[in-house]
């Protein structure tokens, strides 16, 4: 099993590296630049073959890859020898910029393609019926008199069939309040009119209704090898009690497990009318608290259940683009917060953390595995576009300077620029590796 997860990690990160380098390679070939070597990995070449003018290689150090193009070396001052037509530096700045940007842009496109594939094969997760779960004390929902298990029938006079409909229609309100009709009590229940004040969160500006959707205490996905899996739990199991406390919702279930790190819990569940039980000990897990810190909580390796809606090809593409844009915006906000001190440095993980997350995504199953791949591909796009030495964004910055100054950097200036980048990233990598190692010790 461990070997399987190692293969999964290599596959995930290897695909992302290959896609990135493939972007550079295809753009170079399309621009008439001679590609001398396409290598997966760095250092000594383990396997290699040559086709045409290009050597294709698998190298010993697997963390990265490169495309070696003809004529990329900065020539000494005074060297007037004419570059060949296949040389990188013989091309116009615009063409060179396209070749450099093609790597990260291909990572962006790959993220959209993976997301599209996931949506086509697995559908989109939804919150299900518009039934109220928890009502936050003092919130607009509490003031309006909404109660847990209220079934929202209409918002602003429009019938609703899902929780997403409730949020969407409430967000359209421009008067500061919206009229709801809810069904309360046992089916068919009593219809109650409710006026709900609509307000945005003071920090994020996002809609804050002060209530959550009801989620039944049903197991969705199970982490392979986790405490719940070892206890025999399976997707679809209904949690009945924990230490003789009846469980009526997912939030009650999560609340007890979160606060029981390292403690023995007797969990009773039902499967196909059969009652089962086991003693489960929650293991340590991380739960982000906003963007400033991570809280250590108890986890047993189960996910909440989701309703799934199938999408056609066109809707899948549009939804994938929308999801990718939202994730891109979230990552940018994270980096901005990191630079301004609004995000704690402890929220940043190094290579060991990335490997651990890749392994965990494989343990959750194919959907999470490929979802993680898409998310990491977005990170590679953004990181590589940063205007820092040795990154693609750094090369693009030098091209902008060359365009403005009408000449490139001297050989010495370029060497200082590259060495500065190498020292910076080597130091950053060592720092992250040490911190990752300490956090896992």
Residues carrying an active site annotation: 21
The length of the chain is 441
State which H helix or E strand residue 50 sits in: strand 35-51
Q: What is the dihedral of CA 229, 235, 236, 241, to 10 degrees?
A: 30
Query: In angstroms, rounded to a whole number, what is the distance separating the alpha carbons of residues 29 and 426?
Result: 31
Query: In angstroms, rounded to a whole number, what is the distance separating the alpha carbons of residues 141 and 132?
Result: 10
Instruction: Write down the residue that tokens 């809707």 correspond to.
Output: 315
Query: In angstroms, rounded to a whole number, what is the distance separating the alpha carbons of residues 416 and 26?
Result: 30
Classify strands 211-213 and 54-69 as parallel, antiparallel or unpaired.
unpaired
Residue 410 in 3-state DSSP?
coil
End-to-end CA distance of the chain: 22
Query: In angstroms, rounded to a whole number, what is the distance separating the alpha carbons of residues 222 and 153?
Result: 33
Cβ neighbours for 341, distance < 8 A, ≥ 6 positions apart: none
In terms of DSSP H, where are the helices of 302-350?
313-340
Query: In angstroms, rounded to a whole number, what is the distance separating the alpha carbons of residues 396 and 402?
Result: 10
Among residues 196, 184, 186, the alpha carbon closest in space to that of 152 is found at 184
In terms of DSSP H, where are the helices of 31-90?
none
State the maximum Cα–Cα separation within the chain, in Å, rounded to a whole number. 89
Query: In angstroms, rounded to a whole number, what is the distance separating the alpha carbons of residues 328 and 380?
Result: 11
Query: Could you tell me where the beta strands, DSSP code E, fall in 257-399?
Result: 265-271, 274-280, 283-289, 293-299, 307-309
């Amino acid at each position: 099993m461990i070997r399987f997860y190692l293969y999964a990690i290599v596959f995930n990160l290897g695909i992302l590296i290959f896609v990135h380098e493939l972007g550079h390679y295809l753009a170079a070939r399309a621009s008439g630049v001679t590609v001398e070597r396409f290598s997966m990995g760095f250092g000594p070449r383990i396997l290699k073959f040559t086709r045409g003018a290009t050597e294709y290689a698998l190298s010993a150090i697997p963390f990265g890859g490169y495309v070696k193009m003809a004529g990329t070396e900065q020539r000494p001052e005074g060297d007037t020898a004419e570059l060949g037509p296949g040389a990188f530096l013989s091309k116009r700045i615009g063409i060179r910029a396209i070749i450099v940007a093609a790597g990260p842009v291909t990572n962006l496109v790959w993220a959209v393609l993976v997301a599209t594939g996931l949506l086509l094969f697995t559908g989109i997760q939804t919150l299900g019926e518009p039934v109220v779960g928890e009502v936050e004390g003092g919130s607009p929902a509490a003031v309006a008199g909404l109660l847990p298990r209220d079934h929202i029938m209409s918002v602003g006079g429009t019938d609703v069939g899902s929780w997403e409909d409730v949020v969407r229609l409430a967000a359209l309100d421009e008067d500061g309040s919206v009229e709801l009709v809810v069904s309360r009590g046992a089916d068919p229940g009593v219809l109650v009119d409710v006026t709900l004040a609509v307000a945005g969160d003071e920090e994020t500006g996002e809609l804050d209704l002060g209530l959550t959707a009801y989620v039944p205490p049903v197991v969705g996905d199970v982490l392979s090898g986790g405490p719940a899996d070892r206890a025999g739990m399976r997707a679809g199991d209904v949690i009945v009690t924990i230490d003789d406390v009846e469980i009526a919702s997912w939030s009650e279930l999560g609340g007890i497990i979160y606060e029981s790190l390292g403690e023995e819990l007797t969990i009773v569940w039902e499967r196909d009318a059969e009652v089962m039980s086991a003693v489960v000990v929650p293991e340590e897990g991380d739960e982000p608290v906003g963007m400033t810190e991570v809280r250590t909580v108890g986890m047993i390796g189960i996910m909440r259940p989701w309703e799934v809606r199938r999408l056609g090809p066109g809707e899948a593409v549009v939804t994938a683009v929308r999801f990718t844009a939202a994730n891109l915006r979230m990552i940018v906000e994270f980096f901005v917060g990191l630079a301004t001190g609004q995000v704690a440095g402890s929220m940043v993980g190094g290579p060991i953390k990335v490997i651990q997350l890749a392994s965990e995504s494989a343990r959750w199953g194919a959907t999470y595995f490929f979802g993680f791949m898409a998310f990491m591909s977005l990170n590679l796009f953004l990181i590589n576009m940063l205007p820092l030495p040795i990154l693609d964004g750094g090369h693009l910055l030098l091209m902008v300077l060359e365009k403005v100054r009408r000449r490139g950097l001297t050989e010495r200036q370029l060497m200082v620029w590259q060495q500065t980048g190498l020292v910076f990233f080597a130091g950053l990598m060592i720092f992250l590796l040490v911190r990752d190692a300490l956090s896992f010790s």
